[in-house]
Chains A and B, each alone.
Chain A
């Protein structure tokens, strides 16, 4: 039997946050308040996923968006997910499967409480945006069994051959027109208005522009942001319930100005322990982080002067830095294109190209892969990705393993050892290059 032991350390020092992080936290808290107040306000709730999140469309029906992955992350950060995962395993879910799912199921079994301590409302509809992850399909079948509510499947074909075909777009648009929209109309009682969708999409584009500028600010030396640990804060609103809103436009403008200011002052990222010291290593990271020891994990990087300048995880809810923007002139087609293009819906060769490109564009010292035990969508093939990126860039790569929200699979000592060895490897590589020059 596995027991989770929580160490009885002194309470951690309050993390330092820049103003945008505080603002982001307020936005997320407000959203959880809206969600948990739904029984009183009469708002209807749709549960859906981050990759393939159709927030603009959802807002057309005055529905509130609830994202189970984000809830699992919150439970990971709050150190609740471990007991939820165990609870799910106790009621018959395999130890081998996705811990987001088990955290969600376990949370339901233990009262279904949101981060604000209030009960989550039952969803009125499950929008199964089946994009880039097989588990999503089973996850919502499992939730449907519990909630006995209507479920809409939106199937996003996989970009196996590295391209979006007309057949894929036609298939998705037809699903949107004939399955998704009519069902959302029926559940919500709100008639679909395509001009309303266009307005939301226009707003999305503005926020997307600013997000890309923020992420690309990491090309500077030193980078004013950490595009992985800090990036997770930045993507929260746009990957969640805010894409297409004025709040998102305001937030990303604010964030951009804040980052510009840091850039102008030649400052590095803000870490939970304050401004980061001298930037020594610039990394590209592939894969999600561990959330149960998020701060400890991040500290292993900034203590060594390592900053992440680009990451694939911050593209899991949409890839914007290669030019895609939601297009209000093709409202349904653009939603289809968005879903098709999210990171985990891209073929392995496309993912390798992206990472290789990041290393070159952001002048990174190498690639680090955080391989997640329970996420096959990300993890299957990562060892080959590592070798390919190394081969193409000549930069060293390293591999660590952990899990999203299962604390049993976060071994701090192991990860720290590997990271330290990796940083030494980068130093040796640099020394080799200097000697050769």
Chain B
């Protein structure tokens, strides 16, 4: 389609897509790239070669070195790619479903339904996000599931607003009026005409959010609520680097690798989703000249 061709032609969005492809391949091939040790309880719990507290530098056994407690950074990053996709796509999926449903119903029915639903959206938006997410994860316990629940519970509002304003805008458009005049049912209207066009901004939002959800997850890990100890999650690994950023005495950046590698992974992931999202938004903008 035209969209895809534009995405591939534009150098920046191409970069974004390639990066995403790279991450996807790493995620799929994780068991080959970072094989699971026999005594591991689950592949997502990073193996520890020993139990010394201080991180070890990069070596043949540990390509990216180890973080505190001797968790292998390379393994954590490789399997963490899966976690990143799970978190990003999971949260976006759940929140967009909730948000789009709420927003469409509000936009379509209007009147009192619209008022009530939008007030509910407002109430959720007045919740201090980090605090609420912390309370929820403290309640539900640590782990991927609780984190996804917490992030989606307080992240769906923007989708609702966006889809609602888009639907309201399109509803008034001529071609919808035209469709109505020759007897299109409401249901058909929504699904065949309105939603597909209203959906594009949501898509843009979703691609950006996929990246930013990983950031939010890492903030939660930093605050102590997030995935379990040793879980292969980039945010978890970055929070391990916390005490080692200030190196030792006269070697300030001695443990740079504990920060650099997980940090790079997160940055590139967020960056690539951003590039793709920006490109999608450019497609959406009717004023941009496309060559």
Task: Report whether chain A binds chain B.
Answer: no
